[in-house]
Chains A and B, each alone.
Chain A
Amino acid sequence: MATAPEQPEADGEADLAGGIAAVLAELGLASDTPRLTAIPGGASRQTLLVESGAGRFVLRRDPPGAEAPVSQEAEFGLIGLAGDAGVRVARPLHFEPHGGRFGTAGMLLEHVAGESLAPRLLRKPEYEVARGRLPEQLAEALAGVHSVDPVGAAELLPAAAGDPALDAIERWEAEFDAIGEPLPAIELGLRWLLRNRPEPAEPRLLHGDFRLGNFIVDEEGLAAVIDWELAHLGDPAEDIGWLCIRSWRFGNDDRRVAGLGDLESFLEAYANAGGSEIDLPRIRYWEVFANLKWAVICARQAHDHLTGSRRSHELASLGRRICEPEWDMLELM
């Protein structure tokens, strides 16, 4: 997530709209100049709603000067693989490299209508039917992601070493060290994770950020799994542990899976959809890891504010939320 010097936006909004129009024409979709509206959300990708005569689309591209953990080109390929495996995704239509018609590296996707904000999905009456269906649909979607041929996915992703847990620990220890904040509970967590590793799992494609906020949901239930920028190879239980942490229950603390359902039924639906049998201690291990990871992300975001790379009281406030996943981690260990 290094930051290169800011590039001058010589290609302004008009050029970008023109570039998108050319791509749409090439795809046989439209040739009029589309209207662009920013969709707020992820920090490491810029997302724009594209409205043209041929309908609505979504453009995702690197913000100028930023480098994402998974390249746009890899993400484009991975979404395709997941879609081919039967996972509901926003279908990727076209990729342009850096310096191409989208300015920075970026991809055009089909637009999927629906809601992604967790508090609305968990509370609004119009999503009651969807809430009932989501746990099973999420289990099926995750089983689909984990069924992707890891050899094909590995061609798009950095190589993974033998033990996925060791990989995960090393990656987040490095991220933590780059922040430089003294957090003894996190050090304890890293040590515990190192010494309590489960039998190494066969690495599979993971979504990497599978939680409410990254699902487009309509009144019928799951419409698309989005935001694949943290995809990597690892232990499938890592995606489930992340889905279970208390921060992603958004107040529905007694419902372990995404604030929606219980873990036992989720694992049953996951296995029925072709996922492997995963025992509870393994999920618990990855839930400890997930809490540690979320604590490090909070510290990272607060650090970005403090170093001035992205000034925002919202990021700053996350520094005071580190203690929440720290607490849950200590309780789960």
Chain B
Amino acid sequence: MTQDRPDAPELLDALAEFLFADVRDWAPREKRFQVLVAANLCAVLARELRAGERPLREDLALLLELLGSSFTEAPQASELRQAVRAAERDLGERLRAGELDDRLDELQLRLREHVRRKLDVARPGYAAEL
């Protein structure tokens, strides 16, 4: 079912603006930081929704490549998050077991792509700031 506009990210933009530009001014001093956190979370969610499933698909491809496996069939959108988590867990377990010790430099380089995708939603610009 299609909802009328504003769409979800647009609504989150509106909430973020209200919290940042209005609530912050009249919230008691000791609660202002929490209001800013709430405003920032709305902005994070808006970015996440706008990015869609593409970052998850890119992450899945990266993680499976690092694991040396490939999927025969791309998972449905509903199973995508689960597939990424399973691949993250697999890679973690193999690292812990020492099976990838001769590839740590490569992993250090490639996992930046994975972390950068998280930063693009959670804190854009962080990777470029230094």
Which A residues contact B (CB, under 8 angstroms)? Answer: 40, 182-188, 190-192, 195, 246, 253, 313-314, 316-317, 320-324, 326-327, 330-331, 333
Contact = CB atoms under 8 A, between A and B. Distances in A.
B107 interface: yes
A330 B130 contact: no
Contact of A184 (B30, B91, B116, B129): B91
Contacts of A185: 111, 114-115
B104 A188 contact: yes
Nearest to B30: A40
A327 B126 contact: yes
Contacts of A327: 112, 115-116, 119, 126-127
Interface residues of B, number: 37
Contact of A317 (B40, B95, B107, B121): B40
Contacts of B130: 246, 253, 331
Contacts of B114: 184-185
B108 interface: yes
A314 B63 contact: no
16 contacts: A40-B30, A184-B92, A187-B91, A187-B96, A188-B107, A190-B96, A191-B104, A253-B130, A313-B37, A314-B33, A320-B44, A323-B123, A324-B123, A326-B115, A327-B115, A327-B116
B14 interface: no
Interface of B: 30, 33-34, 37-38, 40-41, 44, 63, 85, 88-89, 91-93, 95-96, 98, 100-101, 104, 107-108, 111-112, 114-116, 118-119, 121-123, 126-127, 129-130
A314 B37 contact: yes
A191 B96 contact: yes
A153 B59 CA distance: 47
Contact of A183 (B44, B92, B108): B92
A330 B106 CA distance: 11
Contacts of A320: 41, 44, 118, 121-122
Contacts of A330: 108, 111-112, 115
